[in-house]
Amino acid sequence: MAEIVLDKVTKQYPDGAVAVKDVDIEIADGEFIILVGPSGCGKSTTLNMIAGLEDITSGELRIGGERVNERAPKDRDIAMVFQSYALYPHMTVKENMAFPLRLAKVDNATVEKKVRDAAEILDLTQHLDRKPSNLSGGQRQRVAMGRAIVRSPKAFLMDEPLSNLDAKLRVQMRTSVSRLQKQLGTTTVYVTHDQTEAMTLGDRVVVMRGGAVQQVGAPQFLYDHPANLFVAGFIGSPSMNFVPAGLENGVLRSALGDVPLTDRVRGLLAGADAPREVIMGLRPEHFEDARLVEEHLRGGGVTFTSNVDVLESMGSDKFAYFSLSGEQATSQELAELAADAGSADVPGGGVSLVTRISAASTATEGEQAEIWFDADKVQLFDPDTGRNLTYSTE
């Protein structure tokens, strides 16, 4: 067990393309850290550099205080779980799990014991003599985990280990990965493109974009205090709503009406050198059916009326979708997010809005509804730089 430090780690390919640039991350001993971002953001490259499967162009990687840049993967004492599991097809489950120990020349009795223990933890005992081809996806995934845990390495690296499983199994395995990590207390670096996995699994999350770290923090912190548009749009499902707004005399003029700046927002903006045109970000859960909002609270927010496009009832609450007239928020970062989500080509003029309202709401599809939102929860972003103008660490 050990801490892992990435100190200005950069990866540049011979053709000049920079995959990862100046990444600084300090991973504490026993921490479960998630690298998350859209495909091509450099998260897997970063993981491969920690593993030693790719060379580090510049910067330093320290595991347990020692510089390991030049060490071969086998001398770093870390285990990796691959997206494809990469089980050895010619070996049984037992031989697969024993392989790292055999290479380390561990004596037979110890190998036997360690494999048994790992199999017990992962509930694989009855499958030990089977070949990977005869196992289900979930079982193969567990064998891959088993191969990683048998030799009690300093750290686990996991490269999208759950993305080949079907949705239900993925949720199940997510919980067991989390439990396993807590149980073993081994430093873990976990790569995923799924923000739900990032939110639920990690002690801390590193959001990456285009080879650079955007923000590092606890999942809840990233959700509440995104440093920029990209993080705001990436973390959270359904994602944050973005509405272009003009800042005039302490009032935000937008497609949702005029939003007065609350004292908190005004205070944060004061030091931020805000441009006149901004992007207003609102989480879906900060909306509510106006009829269900108590009278004395209404003043703290803004009410607007619009046609409900689609209404999805989740039982516990309802998702109401609106499309408002007016310009869509545009920025480089939002375009990237849309491209990653595959929604870039979805036609839809104007601003689309997702709101999460109480199940008690009587709003109906195709009819007008009066919706209220909390003006104090508004986050403002600079459309050019993507910076969160209302960023605070509290």
Which residues make up the interface to other proteins (CB under 8 A)? 51-53, 72-74, 78-80, 82, 84-90, 99-100, 103-104, 131-135, 137, 140, 147, 151, 157, 164
CB of 145 to other proteins, least distance (A): 13
Angle between helix 108-122 and helix 137-149 axes, rounded to 10 deg: 140
CB of 165 to other proteins, least distance (A): 9
CB of 77 to other proteins, least distance (A): 8
CB of 175 to other proteins, least distance (A): 21
Question: Which residue, 91 or 311, is less far from other proteins as judged by CB?
Answer: 91
Dihedral (Cα; 103, 108, 109, 115), 10-degree rounding? 50
Question: Which residue, 136 or 330, is less far from other proteins as judged by CB?
Answer: 136
CB of 147 to other proteins, least distance (A): 7
Question: Which residue, 49 or 255, is less far from other proteins as judged by CB?
Answer: 49
Question: Which residue, 151 or 377, is less far from other proteins as judged by CB?
Answer: 151
Question: Which residue, 112 or 285, is less far from other proteins as judged by CB?
Answer: 112
CB of 376 to other proteins, least distance (A): 47
Question: Which residue, 72 or 346, is less far from other proteins as judged by CB?
Answer: 72
Question: Which residue, 23 or 87, is less far from other proteins as judged by CB?
Answer: 87
CB of 331 to other proteins, least distance (A): 36
CB of 51 to other proteins, least distance (A): 6
Question: Which residue, 14 or 271, is less far from other proteins as judged by CB?
Answer: 14
CB of 190 to other proteins, least distance (A): 15
Question: Which residue, 188 or 214, is less far from other proteins as judged by CB?
Answer: 188
Give the chain as a 3 state SS string.
Answer: CCCEEEEEEEEECCCCCEEEEEEEEEECCCCEEEEECCCCCCHHHHHHHHHCCCCCCEEEEEECCEECCCCCHHHCCEEEECCCCCCCCCCCHHHHHHHHHHHCCCCHHHHHHHHHHHHHHHCCHHHCCCCHHHCCHHHHHHHHHHHHHCCCCCEEEEECCCCCCCHHHHHHHHHHHHHHHHHHCCEEEEEECCHHHHHHHCCEEEEEECCEEEEEECHHHHHHCCCEHHHHHHCCCCCCEEEEEEEECCEEEECCEEEECCHHHHHHHHCCCCCCEEEEEECHHHEEEHHHCCHHHHCCEEEEEEECCEEEECCCEEEEEEEECCCCCCCHHHHHHHHHHCCCCCCCCCEEEEEEEECCCCCCCCCEEEEEEEHHHCEEECCCCCEECCCCCC
**What six digits make up the tokens of 316?**
């516990």
Closest CA to 188 of 176, 201, 199: 201
Task: Determine whether 163 is exposed, middle or buried from the number of CB atoms within 10 Å of its CB (0-12, 13-18, 19+).
Answer: middle
